[in-house]
Amino acid sequence: MNFLKDLFVDSLNGFSPRFIPFFLLQLLSAGLLAHLLQKMLNTKFKGLKFGYFALIAVAVALLVALSKNSLMLAVIAAAILIAFVRLREKSSIELIGYFVVGLIGLGCGCGSIIQTLIGSLILFCVILFTPLKE
């Protein structure tokens, strides 16, 4: 039992468990505000089609939450973003998928497994409930 407790504490990587509800609020707020912005822009500009705002906002909020206290992680996160911007020949949903996979790898690699797990669950819910079309 002590092993599981130590594993849980180490997986938080310095993140206090009492801040998990606030972390969830951050991720859900980012997704909700981005979704509202997407709806507003799609109704205002009929000719343009904006998409995937909630998914991108939640992924970026998770990225910021993982790297906000570490310069090294912030530099790695910037490198991941630059690497995925160079994949222009991919479709937008493929690009977002690769970005989310890189984000999960960054989160687990830096030791923030619990935060990454919670953020991934929120991302998976956004993917399930958002209509994704090419």
The string of pLDDT tens digits covering residues 76-130 is 878 877 777 776 676 676 777 777 777 787 777 676 778 888 888 888 888 787 7
CA–chain centroid gap for 55, Å, is 7
Q: Would you place residue 6 in the very low, low, confident or very high pLDDT band (cuts 50, 70, 90)?
A: confident
Inside any domain, residue 72: yes
Please give the residue that has the higher pLDDT: either 35 or 93: 35
Query: Residue 71 is part of which domain span?
Result: 2-129
Query: Is 46 contained in some domain?
Result: yes
- Number of domains forming the structure of the chain: 1
Query: Is residue 115 classed exposed, middle or buried when 0-12, 13-18 and 19+ CB atoms within 10 A define those classes?
Result: buried
Amino acid making up residue 37: L
Burial of 91 by CB count in 10 Å (0-12 exposed, 13-18 middle, 19+ buried)?
A: exposed
Percentage of the residues of the chain whose pLDDT score is greater than 70 = 85
| 66 within domain boundaries | yes
Asked, for residue 134, whether it belongs to a domain, the answer is: no
Residue percentage of the chain with pLDDT more than 90? 0
Q: Does 104 map to a domain?
A: yes
Residue of 15 and 121 predicted with greater confidence: 121
Asked whether residue 124 is domain-assigned, the answer is yes
Say if 53 falls within a structural domain. yes
Question: Per the domain annotation, does 121 fall within a domain?
Answer: yes
pTM to 2 decimals?
Answer: 0.69
Q: What residues have CB less than 8 Å from 41, skipping those under 6 apart?
A: 48, 50
